[in-house]
A and B are shown apart, each in its own frame.
Chain A
């Protein structure tokens, strides 16, 4: 990494000896474009999130994951005017956040590029209550993006949703098609926006955790852990080792049931009833195991601020996990030996490595495109051992690669749970028998940081305390930022589940020479939630 002058990267280098994984630095609005360009070009750096705060001025924060450095870098820039440099021109992953910040805070990137409606629904009619925002309302409301009804005399937009098929979340697709091929795809998710970041304001972190877990029920542990971790950093507390171990076991159980559900959905999308039934048997066993071990089928209420509420029933876990895993493993092996199924996934919904990097994708979607990011390895947290080894991912970037990544991760999660159950074995997780064609990845350097309390290279905001938290959900990196006021109440909480990152790769995947019937397969292979995006 090139370190020059007094840039954020030099701040990271300066913080190298301070044993902190989060570096916060101030950047002026005039320097923002240049510094963003510099960090975006640094090897191993990716834009993990961007959000704003306040009204006068609006404080713009960019969260960079410096994976090879095992650090997060947060730049904070006060925006005194109505606009700021168009960062998505430099880092395309910032576009969705630019739209969101315009809706919520009224500041926009320069250049007048069209911004989409992301979260705040359109006015519902006269007499309706004004929707609350995190900052001030924009001068002009953003619009839903629609394709022209005719493109080149051939294509038209086919509306689908928001009420969709049975047992799936509401979501509106605008499918631009010439009849069969997906030329383009738009999504509107504001039908499900619940204003969760707004709801956390003025609450204690412990009160807010109730809604944070329900932002995305299928990621309650990961999102709860990231949020709790952020709050703990702000409060200056650290959970005990057993509590961290408890969270980590719950997180792997969450990964297992989500991967099982994704595999069942893949089979359903391909019309493979036997495969679906096999995966759902394993899925139900895993939910029952969750209930037996932690008291809740979806692991709600496990994570607490400063620790964990529930002590796992390790006996039930040891007894039940092999059966559920065996069911899932046998089903996975049978699926990979079913040519008609494999053929259906091959070359479907391809995400190239370049697209995955450009859009800042995370989790199995990124790892199936050759981008091996995993916060359990790249950003030390929790009880993970210094020699943790996990599958590196798969090449290909298609739905088949994503299925294989999930199957590999199922095996790795079971190994990790077994190791977490055995304190002695904690240092022996993984090994040469772990699956993964490219060989397992490992954090051989071990955890260099003991806590995620931010290292502030310059004075931050004069009031309140803040912190960044993260966890590796089944969908990838989940991030949270919490800032408390002097009474310990939340002034601003930012929730960034992995779904927020990965949905922006979904339309790219659908466009890549796919037809209508590929869309359910691609959606299942991404296994995202609308709730996580429309939080």
Chain B
């Protein structure tokens, strides 16, 4: 049990450092349900509970896609929902990430048929996949850690950063982390 706690603490510290470095302790997440059974939503809500306390790591939930860096998508992408999902994604500013969350989103529950695309990447460009039915809050945290790394790659690939003469990647993040 002690070893587990130590591993958890190390992972949390690493995640906190990355979020602070990349996003000035402020990475905002928007959730999107495209046909889930409601279990993934409950696990996502529990990320803010005292056992996990997502805020201590520098993550925050936002109700507005225009303020979001990351879209946490659950469900198998119902075809009737695709327009709403696309509009949500398009409303987010660059750089942005899509995290497919749970077995439905990954294609493990529903096939591609008349009702659903069967997986989130039928409509949205997925960057990170979090398996589980539903993924536990710890699995979600692990997925967020991976996602932060992917977002860092996207940030470094942005044209205004690539053109910067003095290594703007570090500059762009150092101010926020101060």
Contacts and interface: CB of A to CB of B under 8 A. Distances in A.
Given A217-B39, A284-B51, A169 B33 contact: yes
Given A191-B80, A531-B37, A280 B50 contact: yes
A278 B36 CA distance: 27
A219 to B, nearest CB: 9
Interface in A218-270: 218, 220, 261, 264
Contacts of A169: 33, 36, 38, 41
A192 B115 contact: no
Nearest to B76: A194
Contact of B63 (A129, A165, A194, A214): A165
A374 interface: no
B38 A170 contact: no
A284 B116 CA distance: 31
Contacts of B24: none
Interface string B15-57: 0000000000000011111111111111111101111000000
B81 A297 contact: no
Interface in B107-124: 109-110, 113-116
B42 A280 contact: no
Contacts of A130: 114
A166 B78 contact: no
B49 A280 contact: yes
Interface string B86-100: 001000000000000
A356 B136 CA distance: 36
Given A128-B79, A166-B30, A280 B46 contact: yes
B133 A300 contact: yes
A129 B33 CA distance: 22
Contact of B38 (A124, A216, A281): A216
Interface residues of B, number: 46
Q: What is the interface residue range for chain A against chain B?
A: 35 or more
A168 interface: yes
B158 interface: no
Give the dominant DSSP class at A's interface. loop
Interface string A174-209: 000000000000000011111100000000000000
Contacts of B113: 129
A179 to B, nearest CB: 21
Contact of B37 (A216, A261, A287): A216
A52 interface: no
A128 B113 CA distance: 11
B156 interface: no
Contacts of B80: 121-122, 124, 190-191, 193
Nearest to B103: A214
Interface in A94-152: 121-122, 124, 128-132
A369 to B, nearest CB: 24
Contacts of A264: 45, 49
Contacts of A170: 32-35, 81, 84
B154 to A, nearest CB: 22
Given A132-B114, A166-B61, A284-B51, A218 B84 contact: no
A194 B114 contact: no
Given A132-B114, A298-B39, A531-B37, A191 B78 contact: yes
Given A167-B61, A194-B116, A280-B46, A121 B33 contact: no
A277 B39 CA distance: 19
Nearest to B82: A124
Contact of B78 (A132, A193, A300): A193
A194 B76 CA distance: 9
A394 to B, nearest CB: 26
A264 B51 CA distance: 14
B168 to A, nearest CB: 32
A214 B114 contact: no
Between B37, B41, B110, the greatest number of chain A beta carbons within 10 A of the residue's beta carbon is seen for B37
Contacts of A190: 80
A217 B37 contact: yes
A192 B115 CA distance: 9
Given A192-B78, A192-B81, A129 B38 contact: no
A261 B49 CA distance: 11
B109 to A, nearest CB: 6
5 contacts: A132-B114, A166-B61, A214-B109, A218-B42, A531-B36
Interface of A: 121-122, 124, 128-132, 162-163, 165-170, 190-195, 211, 214-218, 220, 261, 264, 277, 280-281, 283-284, 287, 297-298, 300, 529-532
